[in-house]
Amino acid sequence: MVFSKLRERLAKETTDEYIVGLDIGTEFVKALIAKVKGDELEIIGVGRTRQAVSDMHSGAISDISGVVRNCEDALAQAEEEAGLQAKRVVIGIAGELVKGVTNTIRYRRPQPDRPLDVPEMELIIEKVQERAQVKAQKQIALETGN
């Protein structure tokens, strides 16, 4: 019985066309596995585990091993329902200790009279993301002293 379950788990399909969503909340850890279909997701497995009172406090993790256990349990439920394991993950973490920053980034196009095409738009997005990350890192370093 134990070996058959282990064999089943090891035989599960593992591929990049699937993604895990993991939401670590104060009350629950929720997990889902979805199949990526172009711009859409098909949810094929879900799991949810209640956090113990001692695991989280005011949106902050107070017992890391308890939270890890809850993540593993919720993920195992989703994997069991989906019948596979995914390699990629998106993690949602919120709370008063999570900080967001907002910045304005300006980008001057080399040829502003030319119509905007997809390759140029991708280049603009890449440049803006790089600048935004550098600005955010500097702002966080300034605020935290690191």
Verdict on whether the full-model pTM lies above 0.75? no
| CATH of range 2-93; options 3.40.50.2000, 3.30.420.40, 3.40.50.150, 3.30.70.20 | 3.30.420.40
pLDDT confidence band for 3 (50 / 70 / 90): very low
19 token code pair:
């993604």
pLDDT confidence band for 87 (50 / 70 / 90): confident
For the stretch 130-145, pLDDT in tens is 988 898 888 888 888 8
Rounded Cα gap, residues 81 and 22, in angstroms = 15
Are the C-beta atoms of 28 and 47 separated by less than 8 Å? no
Ordered by start, the domain boundaries in the chain are: 2-93, 100-146
Are the C-beta atoms of 19 and 41 separated by less than 8 Å? yes
Are the C-beta atoms of 76 and 32 separated by less than 8 Å? no
Comparing CA positions, the residue from 94, 93, 75, 92 lying closest to residue 84 is 75
